[in-house]
Amino acid sequence: MKLKEVDRTAMQAWSPAQNHPIYLATGTSAQQLDATFSTNASLEIFELDLSDPSLDMKSCATFSSSHRYHKLIWGPYKMDSKGDVSGVLIAGGENGNIILYDPSKIIAGDKEVVIAQNDKHTGPVRALDVNIFQTNLVASGANESEIYIWDLNNFATPMTPGAKTQPPEDISCIAWNRQVQHILASASPSGRATVWDLRKNEPIIKVSDHSNRMHCSGLAWHPDVATQMVLASEDDRLPVIQMWDLRFASSPLRVLENHARGILAIAWSMADPELLLSCGKDAKILCSNPNTGEVLYELPTNTQWCFDIQWCPRNPAVLSAASFDGRISVYSIMGGSTDGLRQKQVDKLSSSFGNLDPFGTGQPLPPLQIPQQTAQHSIVLPLKKPPKWIRRPVGASFSFGGKLVTFENVRMPSHQGAEQQQQQHHVFISQVVTEKEFLSRSDQLQQAVQSQGFINYCQKKIDASQTEFEKNVWSFLKVNFEDDSRGKYLELLGYRKEDLGKKHIKEEKEESEFLPSSGGTFNISVSGDIDGLITQALLTGNFESAVDLCLHDNRMADAIILAIAGGQELLARTQKKYFAKSQSKITRLITAVVMKNWKEIVESCDLKNWREALAAVLTYAKPDEFSALCDLLGTRLENEGDSLLQTQACLCYICAGNVEKLVACWTKAQDGSHPLSLQDLIEKVVILRKAVQLTQAMDTSTVGVLLAAKMSQYANLLAAQGSIAAALAFLPDNTNQPNIMQLRDRLCRAQGEPVAGHESPKIPYEKQQLPKGRPGPVAGHHQMPRVQTQQYYPHGENPPPPGFIMHGNVNPNAAGQLPTSPGHMHTQVPPYPQPQRPQNGWNDPPALNRVPKKKKMPENFMPPVPITSPIMNPLGDPQSQMLQQQPSAPVPLSSQSSFPQPHLPGGQPFHGVQQPLGQTGMPPSFSKPNIEGAPGAPIGNTFQHVQSLPTKKITKKPIPDEHLILKTTFEDLIQRCLSSATDPQTKRKLDDASKRLEFLYDKLREQTLSPTITSGLHNIARSIETRNYSEGLTMHTHIVSTSNFSETSAFMPVLKVVLTQANKLGV
């Protein structure tokens, strides 16, 4: 494909490979006679700018010369890598002169551009070449067998390579060997080529065939093989290129006969030894493989002869050709479309006035063709074989899991093709591990979690802490796992209970010594003074008046003492009045203590006293408000405090067990981008979550957005270090965030576990537990099998015999675990076959049957509901007790499953069994699994759904009537969404949401939600009624932003999902 053209009849020289940008120098050809018969000559330099799509070449400089040239070369002599233009232009003139030009000066527009000049040669200098090893050495050839070697450092006195060859002849070509620096070859039109050894200063070999028809117009050494060279002949009777190997100099190794008429010039690519350019009097430019003789490419040229052809040294795909029609064209051999290139107008003009005999040589020109049509075929195909320089020999690419895929092709000299076949083509897959410390710390964390050795772990961390703050944080975390955590917190804050107690006791003792003896008598005065009045009031039992009188007289102690006797109400009032009057520093503290108004302390204490505030909360706050208060304090520290206090907020959040806020606070303070600082955070978070899980018996499976982001970032880092299993273990479960679900899927598959269906967010089981005939894509949801068990009874059909269903492929894990006798199922069968989680999957929700080890907060714990049916359920029945103490609810499920329908009493609502989950809109609740045939099953209890809550409660209170509307509204909405949702992913989401809303219903049952939240929820419900979901979402946002995170986190995100879906589906 033609890239550029210049209208000159000129010799050409590309700038050396080191030069950037690429220049092309042209010097008026000595053979040229243009239409004006002008004898002017010039040296010009053009820049090859490939980003310019036009055909024009940018002219950089023109120097008017008194010489015309037979040969022009551009050597890299004294070139520094930085300079834009450098090296030296060496020109061979008409009268035996060699002129050295400084190209940088030409470009600069300097007048003095000639470095040196020497006219030692006889006749025109047609041959020039620069030694590529010693760029100061230039060889030149002229008439009379003259060959000189010029040292550019000492230009005045040239050397000769040896005695002149006889008979004297013109030297048409000269070339330095490409491998051995002291070897030079010359050739003449007579057809002889001579190889010189400069060390021996004599010709070492003469190459010539015996046809006497080789008129050498071109000579080139093999770029790689030192002993091989090609000779081109311009004789029309023998238009060939001969390839010689000096080791077998008797005849050519190969003869390329691709031209129909004499060859005028050749050029061997330095970038690919399989590419040899040749142009001839047949007006062709060919690119052939001299090693095989095959023509790889024919340039789509014009119809003119080219007398000079050059590869661009820097850009191996580019070549230039000078033609007798007065034009230098720059081509690419990579083919391509010329559609985008605009044709030059002058093109057509000059070809219309074609020069018939521009050189006056009498040589016939090929017949002039009709002026070229611009509608030339626009698509130019590339070389038949790919050039060496586009064959990528090496590559290294990263892939998932910190793997690096590398391959390398050992360079083999091309002539050893046979051996190359033997080469093995290997690809290496390597594991790259760069963060060793990060991995080992992650490993320690995992071990601590698996072995439950939290205290040890925290202790180690405390010992290793480098800063006080770090130490504090770990100390606080450690306390979570110890008995009397609150006391220990206090100690950490600097308040030792025992110390205080001792102090106090001491003081008491001292005081008691000074107590007046109580043995004496006393006088009851009823005088009119204040004492008398009080006495009167007391005597009449009028405590209120007595207290008032005391207060009035500022006898506070008396007032309080009396108020205590006067009962709670009076005491309270008295306290209030006291506080109103009292002004002491600690009054507010006392007020708070007495009034149990901790919020006041936390909200209004000076932040410098945050430790004291936290201590007070730790000492006094009730379990149910404890977290919220710590939270509040933390929030204040974070929002109002200086940078030091802000970090201290972390401690409050640790006390509060508020993982999400800890993450937020920590992230703000630290640079989380480095693996180790992320590790710092994750260690704390993981330990805190464990603590919360153990101490507060809370379900920590729900993960906040920020934490989820951090955890997945962490998992990504682990994965990038090749720790796929660890990454899986840390990745939050039970989240709907698509990026996390995708990462989980990717990790599972990377481990080599096949997963059915790409989008499945959860991986059901470990591979080894998967039966071969595993059901299809549904298995992608780990909760599905259990649900399906209930669906398994076809509606209205005879259910299969008890026990049978479990052996189906629905729940493969159940097989073998279940006794076949249905009578025993509810007593002996484990609650429900648990899908075996991976051992290290400790991030999952706590297993159903695990009782939290320590329950510091029995307040959270619902006592068992009294047994309401003693007749069916004798109190002493060990079975029923066992059942009731089962920490998880699944037993009824499995027992139900095993009861065929006919056993059920008519009219019992049993929709959980009969209807597929998708239509109930909520998990089958088994609201009244009144199973008369099952002695031992409690009657009238409401069983919560198995998979939604892996909790410890057995029974549930009914939802208060006024809130029942919430449940029905939300469930109805989910139903509507489900019926209009089409894709399975949305359905799964909705199913999941329906289950998770149980959290909300539970809170409603327990009436633990604050009135603002419930009223907000009612607002949402109303907006759902009116189908105004965006309003609902706004209210949602309002609730979330104003409420306590830990109170709403279990259900608000799910509610949002439902609302968003409803909005999207437009139900």
Partner 1 sequence: MVSVINTVDTSHEDMIHDAQMDYYGTRLATCSSDRSVKIFDVRNGGQILIADLRGHEGPVWQVAWAHPMYGNILASCSYDRKVIIWREENGTWEKSHEHAGHDSSVNSVCWAPHDYGLILACGSSDGAISLLTYTGEGQWEVKKINNAHTIGCNAVSWAPAVVPGSLIDHPSGQKPNYIKRFASGGCDNLIKLEEEDGQWKEEQKLEAHSDWVRDVAWAPSIGLPTSTIASCSQDGRVFIWTCDDASSNTWSPKLLHKFNDVVWHVSWSITANILAVSGGDNKVTLWKESVDGQWVCISDVNKGQGSVSASVTEGQQNEQ
CB of residue 383 to partner 1, shortest distance in Å:
9
CA distance 73 to 60: 18
**Residue 764 or residue 950: which is nearer to partner 1 going by CB?**
764
**Residue 675 or residue 812: which is nearer to partner 1 going by CB?**
675
**Residue 335 or residue 841: which is nearer to partner 1 going by CB?**
335
Q: Give the CA angle between residues 702, 707, 709 to the nearest 5°.
A: 110
Prior bond of 833 cis (ω within 30°): no
CA distance 60 to 57: 9
Distances (CA, A) of 334 to 49, 296, 319, 794: 17, 11, 11, 69
CB of residue 432 to partner 1, shortest distance in Å:
5
CB of residue 674 to partner 1, shortest distance in Å:
6
Burial environment of residue 309 by CB neighbours within 10 A (0 to 12, 13 to 18, 19 or more): buried
* HEC per residue, 1027-1067: CCHHHHHHHHHHHHHHCCHHHHCCCHHHHHHHHHHHHHHCC
CA distance 110 to 433: 59
CB of residue 746 to partner 1, shortest distance in Å:
6
CB of residue 396 to partner 1, shortest distance in Å:
4
**Residue 320 or residue 880: which is nearer to partner 1 going by CB?**
320
CA distance 889 to 944: 7
Quote the tokens at residue 618. Answer: 């730790």
**Residue 386 or residue 541: which is nearer to partner 1 going by CB?**
386
**Residue 51 or residue 250: which is nearer to partner 1 going by CB?**
51
CB of residue 487 to partner 1, shortest distance in Å:
34
Dihedral in degrees, nearest 10, Cα atoms 360, 363, 364, 368: -50
**CA proximity to 431, closest of 830, 785, 720:** 720
Q: How many CB atoms lie within 10 A of CB 844?
A: 15
CB of residue 1060 to partner 1, shortest distance in Å:
5
Quote the tokens at residue 482. Answer: 């110890």
CA distance 825 to 844: 28
**Residue 1 or residue 974: which is nearer to partner 1 going by CB?**
1
CA distance 552 to 544: 12
CB of residue 724 to partner 1, shortest distance in Å:
9
**Residue 403 or residue 807: which is nearer to partner 1 going by CB?**
403
* HEC per residue, 186-209: EECCCCCEEEEECCCCEEEEEECC
387 neighbors 317 (Cβ within 8 angstroms): yes
**Residue 124 or residue 402: which is nearer to partner 1 going by CB?**
402
CA distance 322 to 8: 8
CB of residue 1039 to partner 1, shortest distance in Å:
16
Prior bond of 167 cis (ω within 30°): yes
Quote the tokens at residue 851. Answer: 């009782």
CB of residue 381 to partner 1, shortest distance in Å:
7
**Residue 470 or residue 558: which is nearer to partner 1 going by CB?**
470
The residue to which tokens 């023109």 are assigned: 62
1016 neighbors 1035 (Cβ within 8 angstroms): yes
**Residue 595 or residue 705: which is nearer to partner 1 going by CB?**
705
Side chain identity at residue 691, one-letter code? A
Burial environment of residue 902 by CB neighbours within 10 A (0 to 12, 13 to 18, 19 or more): exposed
CB of residue 843 to partner 1, shortest distance in Å:
20
Quote the tokens at residue 240. Answer: 């060939």
**Residue 83 or residue 109: which is nearer to partner 1 going by CB?**
83
**Residue 204 or residue 390: which is nearer to partner 1 going by CB?**
390
Torsion angles phi and psi, residue 284, rounded to 5: -110, 145
CB of residue 14 to partner 1, shortest distance in Å:
14
CB of residue 1065 to partner 1, shortest distance in Å:
9
Question: How many Cα neighbours within 13 Å face the side chain of 333?
Answer: 31
**CA proximity to 153, closest of 127, 128, 134:** 134
CB of residue 55 to partner 1, shortest distance in Å:
11
* Complete DSSP assignment for 953-997: ----PPPPHHHHHHHHHHHHHHHHHHHH--SHHHHHHHHHHHHHH
CB of residue 587 to partner 1, shortest distance in Å:
46
**Residue 226 or residue 433: which is nearer to partner 1 going by CB?**
433
CB of residue 622 to partner 1, shortest distance in Å:
35
Element (DSSP H or E) covering residue 319: strand 318-323
CA distance 325 to 358: 8
**Residue 385 or residue 577: which is nearer to partner 1 going by CB?**
385
**Residue 242 or residue 332: which is nearer to partner 1 going by CB?**
332
CB of residue 1012 to partner 1, shortest distance in Å:
24
**Residue 340 or residue 519: which is nearer to partner 1 going by CB?**
340
Torsion angles phi and psi, residue 99, rounded to 5: -120, 135
Q: Is 243 helix (H, G, I), strand (E, B) or coil?
A: strand
CA distance 43 to 38: 15
89 neighbors 72 (Cβ within 8 angstroms): yes
**Residue 435 or residue 638: which is nearer to partner 1 going by CB?**
435
* Complete DSSP assignment for 817-857: TS-S-GGGHHHHS-SSPPPPPPTT-TTSPPPTTPPPS--S-
Distances (CA, A) of 949 to 507, 528, 832, 944: 52, 71, 14, 7
CB of residue 433 to partner 1, shortest distance in Å:
5
